[in-house]
Amino acid sequence: MLRVCDTNKPCLHLVYEMWDSMIFNMKKVIYDHEGKLPSDFSSFFHVIHRILLARWTKHSTPLHCLAHSLNPRYYSDKWLQEKEGRMPPHMDGDVSTQRMKCFRRLFPNPDERAIVDDEFADFSLKSGPFGDPDAILNSYDREPRKWWACYGSRAPLLQRLAFKVLGQPTSSSCSERNWSTYSFVHSFRRNKLTPKRAEDLVFVHNNLRLLSRNTSQYYDEKTKMWDIGGDEFGSMEDVGILEFANLSLDEPELESVLFDEDISQFIET
């Protein structure tokens, strides 16, 4: 969950289903280890389940349920048949309650909200404009926003909402990394840097990091330690032992440039 959410990719629409799958998979692992049947009681899983539910209750928002409801994948027959007990979002009471809270907040006008409700009914029931065979066929594999771009034009209010919600990342970590780089550049030792110079150094640092991903050395593990996983989620394969990169700017050549500039500015003033 942390791995997927700690990216700049839109993944808000994946969180609700992933959380359910995580709990299901943890139960399976624990019950298999204890040699119990699914109907048996496990005191260990009971404790783990309470912790997970408490954390999810604390951090979940109606927006998670809305994003889950607008992902066409979760209405496809293929997804519903992959695991026993799955149901489409519009048949889940908790999801529907939270989705309606979002609709009331986002569409305060009753007439407009009635239109959105009709559009969502057609979408969830695969009727009207969403009854197109290609729309149903591609609902499982097509990226959600692309699916809405192809088949949602006749439900304009819901389409615009889907574009906004399905394009949301779940974390500000990417911005936090940028701010951390700034604090790394504009340190106590280099507190006389002008804002423009500090901004340029941050720009260069981040872009060198991005450009390094296109080099052969990056894939040979020589500079891959710049990324623990990068800003794009792929897989945990070949990550190996995580290392800290020596990204210090305290190189003699760079320090001389920085301090020479500071001295010249001091002399001029």
Domain parsing of the chain, residue ranges: 2-166, 173-268
> From residue 151, how far is each of 14, 77, 79, 140 by CA, in Å?
20, 18, 19, 14
Output the DSSP codes for 112-179.
HHHHHHHHHHHHHHT-GGGG-HHHHHTTTTS-HHHHHHHH-TTSHHHHHHHHHHHT--S--HHHHHHH
User: By the 8 A CB rule, do 142 and 72 touch?
Assistant: yes
Residue-wise pLDDT tens for the chain (269 aa)? 777 777 667 788 888 888 888 888 888 899 999 898 888 898 889 988 888 888 888 777 898 899 999 999 999 999 999 888 889 999 999 999 999 999 999 999 999 999 999 999 999 999 998 999 999 999 999 999 999 999 999 999 999 999 999 988 776 666 666 677 777 777 777 677 788 888 888 888 877 777 776 777 666 655 444 454 444 444 444 434 333 334 444 444 444 444 444 444 444 44
115 Cβ partners below 8 Å, 6+ apart?
157
